Structures are given as structure tokens and as C-alpha cells.
Amino acid sequence: MILSSLVFAAVALSTVNAQDLGVPLSWRKFSTDRHIDERIALSKAAIDRIQQSLDTSNAEYSGIGFWQSANVYAPMALHDDLSGTTTYQSTVTSMLTTAFSQNAHYDKYQYNDDAMWWASAAVYAYRTYGDSNLLNYAIDTWTHVSDYVVTAANAAAGSHPLKSYSLAGSCDGQSMEGGVFWRPTSDDQGINSITTGLYTALSAHLADLTGDSKYTDAAIRSANWIKRLNIRDNIVLDSVNAHDCSRSPDGWRFTYNTGKFIEGLSILTSVTGDSQWDTLLLNLVATGVKNGPWQGSDGIITEGASPDSNNDGVGFKSVLIRGLIEAYRRTQNQSLSILIHSYVDVQYNALLDLASDGDNEYSSAWAGPAQAYTTWGQMAALDVLVAAIVANGIDG
């Protein structure tokens, strides 16, 4: 069923909803009448196009980096999950295995976040295909990164056994327990929201899949670090220095920090039944999609528009869409469902109308103009095209 018929009801109700989940009427094209078969076909065609850039010897895609390559396999697995197919099972499984066999704990360059992008893709693939090897890759990576989580004892002692400097046990009067170091190197002092958010979401996924409380406890500790220390005005901030508590610039407000935390909160809400996580989720979604610094009044995400060259920021916005779809699939809140559906469709219609060359190739500039194929532009578009499969129901 297409949800557009319910959008105006959500707009009308927005004045009485504490989180203001109403859909802004200034948004550009917040519904679609494309049939599910067409939506699946468009998603598949875009995924098929990027496979031409795959180097099967190392599981990476030419033109994008190691962590960005992981964020191709994630929407591939999700495409199969949402469309009820196994089209990409062989490629996803074999390439995730290749990357794991060549890089211990998926950690090629000594970045904990890089490792967890791959482990997250392995979790999505396990959830879709049921291959226990994929789950084992994710658990191995989780175990490795867990050594770099600040414990209550570390915070109390002001030190971490794998770091060569004194640790700030608290910053801004709040405990640093649950923060996850960006890098495993002994001298790196960074703790950031994307690494901690990835760990929160990965822990929550593993709790959901295995029922083991150690993963639930880990997710709660790291979610609390972000909640206590790194949210301002319902936008997740970037980083905190673990030695002197200095912060990243206030302008470093990126889609993927909020998006990955939304994903973690949606699963944590399901696993624990604790309403505090759902309340925080609603606040983050409402602010992120309606008042985030990464979009205009038309709702189209402008962050990461880079037609001429790849950079890390190109793929951030796709992580927000992925997190929103996890929330969409789990929530029972109709107003939240309609808001997410509408926001996804704004991006979907922008990609198809403004950023596509008409040959299943997409620019990283979602507001246009269209351009010839680039791996990074294609990578960034995949999650939107996949998300539209489920965000518009199964009958439309």
C-alpha cells in the first residue's frame, strides 16, 4: 500500500505530536506511485552497474575506499532481504569472506570504524542468508573492538591498558564509560560517535540475533556514552578527545553519526523494551530529517555532493537512510513510519528525477545535475533505492 494517502493526516496531527513527526509540506515529492516490481528493478539495476567496478581479488570497488566498499555489500544484502530474493548471496558471501581472510578482524588500516562497517555488512548478510560464517566474522570483529571500549574501571583509573596516555575519566562532568576508541593504535586519542555508534548498533544486532545479554549490556553502555556526552539539539556530534576532552568543531554535524545511532536505538528499543531509547530515537529522527544541517527546505540531502572526486563524506548520507529504514521496519508508531517513508521518497525522487542520467547511474549530488558514472556516486545512491522497496509498502 502506498503511504502517501496518510501523509496529510500526519501533517495535520503534527501540532499535537510532542516530537513533531508531521511531514513538512515544503518537501519535494514525498511519495511515489512506482509499483514494487519497478522499485526492485531500479534497485537491482543500480547494484548491477556498480559490480563492474568490483575487484574480486580483494573485495574492494575501484574508485572508493575500503570502508566505502563495505557500504556496497550492506545494501546488496538488504536488497535481497527486502525483495525476498537471493540474487546477490554468492557475491556478498564470497566477498565478505575474502575481505575477512585478508584482513584480520576486518581491520585493514587500523581503524575500528572501518572494521565495523564490514562487520555490519556481515550482520545484514547473515540476517538475510543465514550463513553462520558471516555471523562469526561479525562476532570476531566485535570481540576485537571490545578491547577498545572504555570501561567503568578504565574511567575510574584514568588509564586504558592499550593506550599510552592518561585517560580523561570524565568530560563535561560525564563519565567516559562506553566510548569506543576510533583507532587501536596506542597513541591515538580520539573517541567519536561513528565508532561508538557502530559498536552500539553492532552490539544491538548481535543481541537481537543471539539473545546473549553481553551484547545488550555493551550496546547500552555505548549508547549511554553518546546520550550523555555527544548529542546537542537532537543532533549527534562528532568526536571527543579521550585525553583532554577537547571537542571536534561544532560544524562537524554529519548525517552518518545520527543515522548509525538511530539504527542502534531502533534495535536496542526492540531488544530491551526500554522506552527511553524509543523516546530518544523519535527526537533524533524528527530533528534529523526536518532540521538537520544537511538539507534544504525541499528535504533533499545536500551533504556529500562531490561530482568530481571521491571523499569520505560522499557516503555519509546513505548511512542515515539505512538507519532510518531499520527504524521504519521496527517501529509501531504510524506517524514515525509516515515521516520516514516521506523522507526516503524525497531522496528517491530526487535521485531519479535530478541525479540520474537515465541509465541507472547516479550522481553523488542528489539535487543534481546528473553526470556520467562514478563509483562513489553509485555507492551513495544504493541505500535510497533499496530503502524505497520497503518504505512504500508491498502493493504499490
- Start-to-end CA span in the chain (Å): 5
Pick from 320, 325, 352: which is nearest to 341 by CA?
Answer: 325
Q: How far is CA 296 from CA 302, 326, 328, 367, in A?
A: 7, 24, 23, 10
Instruction: Return the ∠ at Cα 235 (arms to 221 and 216), rounded to 5°.
Output: 20
What pLDDT sits at residue 394?
66
The contacts of residue 160 (CB under 8 Å, 6+ apart) are 150, 154, 167, 181, 242
**Alpha helix ranges (H) inside 149-274:** 152-157, 193-210, 213-229, 255-272
Kindly report the pTM of this predicted structure.
0.95
What pLDDT sits at residue 395?
56
Report which residue type is found at 328: Y
Q: Find out whether 183 and 110 touch, Cβ atoms under 8 Å.
A: yes
Pick from 140, 84, 93, 85: which is nearest to 121 by CA?
Answer: 93
Over the chain (396 residues), the average pLDDT of each successive run of 10 is 37 46 98 97 98 98 98 98 98 98 98 98 98 98 98 98 98 98 98 99 98 98 98 98 97 98 98 98 98 97 98 97 98 97 98 95 98 97 98 75
Cis peptide before 24 (omega within 30 of 0): no
Written as nine digits, the cell of 27 is 518537501
The CA distance from 2 to 338, in Å, is 10
Q: Would you give the distance in Å from CA 285 to the centre of its chain?
A: 13
Q: Find out whether 300 and 350 touch, Cβ atoms under 8 Å.
A: yes
Written as nine digits, the cell of 200 is 552500539
